[in-house]
Amino acid sequence: MSELGHQQAKRTAEYLRNEGVDHIVASTMRRAHETAMPLAEMLGLEIELIDDLKESDHKSKAYIPVEEMDADGAEAAEILEGDIHAKLFSDGFDAFEERVVGAFNYVIESNRSKTVVAFCHGMTTMVYLRSILKFPDPLAMIVDYCGITRVRAAFVGIRSVRSINETDHVRDLIDR
């Protein structure tokens, strides 16, 4: 993780410190796990790694953050050429959505009446929100690094989105 990523993770931990967190889960991908570590250390909690929370492009050979793509846009253009969904969803969109929704349902069922923080990825978050809010295109919404999205899960299966992409705690770090 970059120095900026460490700063964002630390700020996120500080922001969530007093939220009554009972459990922490994270994707098995290194970026998410490392982002979860400051909060876990601060609260003395273990991180439950969940493979099904991994990013949509987990089979890609390389990860290039959008902000690090070349100035002329060639890398972005290469990614966007052809079937965008095939490139963004390594296992196909339907399989990705099923995996993500299943992972969140598992977290909810396993942690009834608890406050859980899930450290995952942008597309994972967007596709889960899509499953709740029923908007058609998962690319219609972008969440920032360390943006906090809150979902309340009722035991009867109702999911209520409380906030999307809270970034006040890292605003000066994401606008760089």
pLDDT > 70: what percent of the chain?
80
What distance in Å separates the CA atoms of residue 59 and residue 92, rounded to the nearest whole number?
A: 11
Structural domains counted in the chain: 1
Edge to edge, the sheet with strand 23-27 lists 47-50, 23-27, 116-119
Q: Model confidence at 84, in pLDDT bands (50, 70, 90)?
A: low
Q: Model confidence at 3, in pLDDT bands (50, 70, 90)?
A: very high
Task: Region of 157 please: left (phi>0), alpha (psi -120 to 50) or beta.
Answer: left
Helix/strand/coil for 10: helix
Region of poorest pLDDT, from 3-7, 22-26, 73-77, 83-87: 73-77
Give pLDDT tens digits for 29-62. 999 999 999 999 999 999 999 999 998 755 555 5
- Pairing between β-strand 148-153 and β-strand 159-166 as defined by DSSP bridges: antiparallel
> Per the structure block, which two tokens stand in for 156?
């009867």
* Contact between 107 and 50 (Cβ < 8 Å): yes
Helix/strand/coil for 161: strand
pLDDT over 60 at 15, yes or no? yes
CATH of the domain at 30: 3.40.50.1240
What distance in Å separates the CA atoms of residue 80 and residue 43, rounded to the nearest whole number?
A: 41
pLDDT over 60 at 159, yes or no? yes
Rounded mean pLDDT of 140-148?
88
Helix axes 3-16, 30-43, angle to 10 degrees: 40
pTM for this prediction: 0.84
What distance in Å separates the CA atoms of residue 115 and residue 99, rounded to the nearest whole number?
A: 22
What distance in Å separates the CA atoms of residue 83 and residue 19, rounded to the nearest whole number?
A: 41
**Where in the sequence is the domain holding 141, given as residue range(s)?**
3-174
Residue 4, number of CB atoms within 10 A of its CB: 15
For the chain, the average pLDDT equals 85
